[in-house]
């Protein structure tokens, strides 16, 4: 396992659509492990493969145990994730992004979504997510389409190093966390 460097928003790769994974190989398994390690080292709650320079449709999510949310402790990886249903109901919430350090913004997201994809063994999975987990999934799936939260935000503002945590904690009602 290895922590890999995270790309920043000026990197054109972040604007490209990621490719579908054709076969779930050992390399994909290794990629997922590196993504988890990189995400945790950066205090993130989610990461897409393209953020570490691999333009494949792979995302990981890790909601810490100590947050007040029904999704607390959720850890998952998804290959070729796809939103197949989204509630018409939308709510705004504060987001940050590991690829956009120093910025936060208000982003409208669907409150509930149904996502399908493959697990790390290549088995098809389908899941429903609400609230914060649904937000993180939408943020990560956007990365696979070359979309950053800045594109969807109704408002963005600069945050000081370390202040990101306060902003997110205040707005999302969670413990100190940073971007995804």
Contacts of 12 (CB under 8 A, 6+ apart): none
Using CB under 5 A, pick the residue from 49, 54, 129, 180 that binds Zn ion.
180
Cβ distance to Zn ion smaller for residue 21 or 39: 39
CB closer to Zn ion, 134 vs 180:
180
Residue with tokens 């503002």: 157
H or E stretch covering 151:
helix 149-152
Nearest-CB residue for Zn ion: 97
Q: In the complex, what is the shortest distance from the CB of residue 53 to Zn ion, in angstroms, rounded to a whole number?
A: 14
Which of residues 49 and 180 has its CB atom nearest to Zn ion in the complex?
180
Nearest-approach distance from CB 114 to Zn ion, in angstroms: 21
User: Would you tell me how many other CB atoms lie within 10 Å of the CB of residue 169?
Assistant: 16
Please answer whether residues 175 and 80 qualify as being in contact, where contact means their C-beta atoms are separated by less than 8 angstroms: no
Residue 149: phi and psi, rounded to 5, are -60, -25
Whether 145 is catalytic: no
Q: Would you give the DSSP letter of residue 7?
A: P
Chosen residue from 35, 59, 97, 133 binding Zn ion by CB under 5 A: 97
Q: Which stretch binds Zn ion (CB under 5 A): 15-23, 27-35, 97-105, 109-117?
A: 97-105
Answer for the pair 63, 74: CB distance below 8 angstroms, yes or no: yes
Rounded to whole angstroms, how far apart are CA atoms 71 and 74? 6
- Of 37, 89, 140, 165, the catalytic one is 140
**Alpha-carbon gap, residue 69 to 144, rounded angstroms:** 25
Number of residues that bind Zn ion (CB under 5 A): 2
Q: Closer to Zn ion by CB, 24 or 35: give it.
A: 35
* Contacts with Zn ion, 17-46, as mask; x by CB under 5 A: ------------------------------
The pair of structure tokens assigned to 91 is: 């709510």
Beta carbon of residue 61, minimum distance to Zn ion (angstroms, whole number): 11
Residues lying near Zn ion in the complex (CB under 5 A): 97, 180
**Which residues are part of the catalytic machinery?**
140
């Amino acid at each position: 396992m290895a922590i890999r460097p995270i790309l920043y928003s000026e990197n054109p790769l972040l604007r490209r659509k990621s490719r579908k994974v054709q076969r779930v190989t050992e390399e994909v398994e290794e990629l997922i492990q590196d993504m988890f390690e990189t995400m945790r080292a950066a205090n993130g709650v989610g990461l897409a493969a393209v953020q570490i320079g691999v333009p494949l449709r792979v995302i990981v999510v890790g909601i810490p145990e100590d947050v007040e949310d029904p999704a607390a402790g959720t850890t998952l990886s998804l290959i070729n994730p796809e939103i197949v249903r989204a509630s018409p109901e939308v709510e705004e919430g504060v987001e940050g992004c590991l690829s956009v350090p120093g910025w936060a913004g208000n982003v409208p997201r669907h409150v509930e979504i149904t996502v399908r994809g493959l697990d790390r063994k290549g088995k098809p999975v389908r899941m429903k997510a609400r609230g914060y987990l649904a937000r993180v999934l939408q943020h990560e799936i956007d990365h696979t389409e070359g979309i950053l939260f800045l594109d969807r935000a109704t408002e963005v503002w600069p945050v000081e190093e370390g202040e990101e945590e306060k902003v997110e904690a205040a707005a999302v009602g969670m413990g100190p966390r940073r971007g995804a």
